[in-house]
Structure 1
Amino acid sequence: MTANEDQEMELEALRSIYEGDECFKEISPVSFQFRVGDLEDTKAFIMDVTWPETYPETAPQISLDAFFNNRISADTKQLILSKLDEQVEASLGEAMMYTLFEWAKENQEALMENHKPVVTAVTLTSSSDATAPASTGKKKEKKEQLTKAQKRRIVNRTDHKGDLPRGWNWVDVIKHLSKTGGKDDN
């Protein structure tokens, strides 16, 4: 069999095995993503696998560069890739995707044992915050919380779009003239 026939057979098998499985995603006929672990699991990771033209005679390209993996340290990624490469080397020349994916699922704990989530905080600052020195020790003002009754009153005063009705701030002409007097009251 040629490499392309082997790839077609393995692709057909992967489609039937992982049909409806949210962990497996076919990007193209030679590129796949496989999530190891649940979405909420901090030790979950996504493997990007791409087959070269001569796969399975040559190793597939495995990457952990998916955005989902940003919380995994570079050392942990390197460990995972080296362990996956060992599995690939043992299976060269035969269809290995199912075996590789299942091995990663079974060994997730061992692969992620030294995992400490990388925390990358994005802070947005306005121009006024950026100019103020950080060491002043001022606490940010808390936004005032409205009660349900206050919110209800605001909603009752506005229309369905959240706009106040036309003339809501107009002065009552009769009251105004009674207080100030008219032209004839000179």
Structure 2
Amino acid sequence: MSEDAEQQAEEIEVLKSIYEGDENFKQVDATTYQYKYIEGDKSFVLEIKWGPTYPTEKPKCNLEIFYNQHLLPSVKEKILTIVDAEAEQWVGCAMTYTLFECLKEKVVEILSEQTEEAVVVRVEKIAIDDQTESKKPEKKEQLTKAQKRRAWDRAEIGRAGEKPRGWDWVDIVKHLSQAPHQPSS
């Protein structure tokens, strides 16, 4: 086992013990971790993905997650700048916990730039675009009551064209009563 792999295994164990019971922490897979930052009614998720040579190289930080669609590009850039600057200081050491905690201290400052007006404007643009491209649903063929009854009787609707069980069975009693019985002599 290489030294990087040993350090990764050790850091996984440490992260699990530190964040045990923390609903904001999530281990996506063996090398990908997410932490959800919440400040009032504003929040975002930071995803950190380790490379094969982590911790001797910086991990990849990702904010392009569906949950973060509401974030302004300037806020995303600021978050990534803060995390990248912190990661530069800790190259060669286990840094996932440090990066998550660094943002915890600055989350109020970061999210203060996230204005509700900007988000509302972006949502309004989306709503306007959707209205211009609306399509009318196709109309189904309307059947009269008599047409529906005939279709039902023919069993095209309801049983998908299947006939009821025994529709072609012969009534044995009726069949035997039709032929005269001749006693054998």
TM norm structure 2: 0.63
Q: Tell me which residue corresponds to 1:112.
A: 111
Long gaps (5+) in structure 1: 129-186
Which residue of structure 2 aligns with residue 26 of structure 1?
27
**Who is 1:12 aligned against?**
13
Summarize deviations over 1:117-165 as a string: whole Å, max 9, x none.
423245465547xxxxxxxxxxxxxxxxxxxxxxxxxxxxxxxxxxxxx
Structure 1 equivalent of residue 78 of structure 2: 79
Unpaired runs of at least 5, structure 2? 137-185
d(CA) in 2 for partners of 1:53, 1:28: 14
Residue 159 of structure 1 is matched in structure 2 by: none
Moved over 4 A (4+): 124-128
Question: Aligned Cα RMSD in Å?
Answer: 1.8
Q: 1:41: which partner in 2?
A: 41
Task: State the secondary structure of the residue aligned to 1:36.
Answer: strand
Pairing of 1:1-186 with structure 2 (within 5 A): 2-37=3-38, 41-42=41-42, 44-117=43-116, 118-119=119-120, 120-121=123-124, 122-123=126-127, 125=131, 127=135
Alignment partners' CA distance in 2, 1:34 and 1:98:
10
Supply the distance in 2 between the matched residues of 1:22 and 1:10 (Cα, whole angstroms): 19
The count of residues paired between Structure 1 and Structure 2 equals: 126
Could you say which structure has the larger radius of gyration?
2
Q: Which residue in the other structure is 1:151 paired with?
A: none
Residues 60-109 of structure 1, C-alpha deviations (whole Å, 9 max, x = no match): 00011111111110111001101110010111110111111111111101
Aligned-pair CA distance for 1:113: 2.6
